Amino acid sequence: MSVSIGARVYLISVYHKSDRRKALAFDTDAYKMPAPQLISKFISSHAAATQSVERERSWYFEEKESGAAGNSKGYIHYGTFGFESNFIDSKTKKRNYRRQVSDVEEIPLFYEFWFPSRARHAFSVFQSFQGRSCITMVVSKIQEMFEANNPGLVMSFKKLLANDASGGIYSSVPVKKLRLIKRRAPADLAEKYLGIKPSSNIDFEVSFAARRKGSLGAFSALTGNFKADRTEGVITYDGVDFEEAVAEIRVGGRTRRVGVFGIGSDAGAIDLSDTIEKGLDGHPTFESLKKESDSLLRDFHKKISETSL
């Protein structure tokens, strides 16, 4: 799934290291620093750039809105450095600037943390931009800080998405459309269906779409019919191995494309490309991202409450 603007939703829970069967409430006396307060402190203490020289990446928080402890919205400014490149004007084709090794190219990525009242779970949303994301670096640092301040406890970030087919919170949701995608497929595959052999490799796609008021069936039942090899990163259909699968399901109050399966970074992303507004800088506006994030979190929270996860 080629996603320009994507969102990933995570369920935040805390467990005893020796017992991960039931999440701890956020208001017990088991904490030296409760999770909501720790998240707030983490954001405020990372308002200046943190650099990973090994990964040649940097990031820092810009909080735009905050509420009760742990509730926060804003941007993570994600930067890359360590290589030279030319910046060319796409209209005039003239070179405007030669990027240096020490230059950091920063992009703003939306984030949200939300701790619902009287709940054992919290949520976070992280935006990606053209496949770029800093989730792994940020989450690992939060977990390190939590465990350092709360010996014996662990903080879990579980990605919530439709491809948890067997027991996922969206397993019973009707699927409107399903696409199976194979990148850089051999030209022989096209010859099989078209009778003409292209001069080079192709991108091959199979699409199934329900009629206007219908559906293809429940997500879990539909995907259960495909042979999936998670170790090899493929779904097999009609003798063809597909590396990606994208479903259209109703989530966050509207039908959206979600990455169901894939070996790339778009796997699991909820596509917001068609629902957000972009500013003059080419990035989504804060207000449009906030609206989409809030609708996603309300929907995920409702599903979690219904399933008693």
Is residue 146 in some structural domain? yes
* Model confidence pTM above 0.85: no
Q: Does one domain contain both 190 and 146? A: no
Q: Does one domain contain both 6 and 150? A: yes
Contacts of 49-52 with C-beta under 8 Å, sequence gap 24+, read: 49/77, 49/79, 49/104, 50/141, 52/137
User: Using CB atoms within 10 A of its CB, is residue 155 exposed (0-12), middle (13-18) or buried (19+)?
Assistant: buried
pLDDT at 267: 55
Domain with 254 in it: 162-267
pLDDT at 229: 58
Q: How many domains does the chain have?
A: 2
pLDDT at 164: 52
How many Å is the maximal CA-CA distance in the chain? 70
Q: Does one domain contain both 144 and 178? A: no
Is residue 292 in some structural domain? no
Is residue 304 in some structural domain? no
Q: Are 269 and 9 contacting, i.e. CB atoms less than 8 angstroms apart?
A: no
Q: What is the pLDDT along the chain (309 residues), one digit of tens a residue?
A: 445 788 889 999 999 998 888 899 998 888 999 999 999 999 999 999 888 777 778 899 999 999 888 899 999 999 887 777 888 888 888 888 888 887 778 889 999 999 998 888 999 999 988 767 888 889 999 999 999 999 999 999 988 765 554 456 667 778 888 888 888 888 888 877 888 888 888 888 888 888 888 888 877 777 666 655 555 556 777 778 887 778 888 877 788 888 776 545 455 678 888 889 998 888 899 999 999 999 999 888 887 876 655
Q: Does one domain contain both 5 and 111? A: yes
User: Using CB atoms within 10 A of its CB, is residue 74 exposed (0-12), middle (13-18) or buried (19+)?
Assistant: buried
Q: Does one domain contain both 108 and 226? A: no
Q: Are 177 and 220 contacting, i.e. CB atoms less than 8 angstroms apart?
A: no
Is residue 188 in some structural domain? yes
Q: Does one domain contain both 20 and 39? A: yes
